[in-house]
Amino acid sequence: MSFAGYLRNIEEKTGKSPSDFRALAAKKGFARNGRIVEGVRAGEIVRWLKEEFDLGHGHAMAIVALLRGKPEGD
């Protein structure tokens, strides 16, 4: 599955867009300006996404990649 496909599936499951996840990550203190804050580990973000949105590991890692700056269309 492509990265864009992962993001579409995540949005269908959660009702949240990539922009929504950037904003939510910022609100949680995990990200600033759409990027992961230095010192925040991927595992922390994955745990949050699994607990709050019931995402699987692969889908949670797609959000981590998004927060690391991977373009949505790739």
pLDDT tens string 10-63: 999 999 999 999 999 999 999 998 789 999 999 999 999 999 999 999 999 999
Residue reference for tokens 């599955």: 1
Angle between helices 18-27 and 3-14 (to 10 degrees): 70
Quickly state the pLDDT bin for 72 (edges 50, 70, 90): confident
Does 41 map to a domain? yes
Q: Is 72 inside a domain boundary?
A: no
Q: What domain range includes position 63? A: 3-67
Strand partners of residue 36 = 31
Q: Which amino acid is at 65?
A: A
Contact 66, 7 (CB under 8 A): yes
Report if residue 12 sits inside a domain. Answer: yes
Q: Which of 25, 59, 27 is nearest to 45 (CA)?
A: 25
Residue 74 domain flag: no
Domains of the chain: total: 1
Q: Does position 73 have pLDDT exceeding 90, yes or no? A: no
Higher pLDDT, 6 or 47: 47
**Would residue 31 count as lying in a domain?**
yes
Query: How many Cα atoms are found within 13 Å in the side-chain-facing hemisphere of 26?
Result: 11
Instruction: Please check whether residue 23 lies inside any domain of the structure.
Output: yes
pLDDT value, residue 74: 64
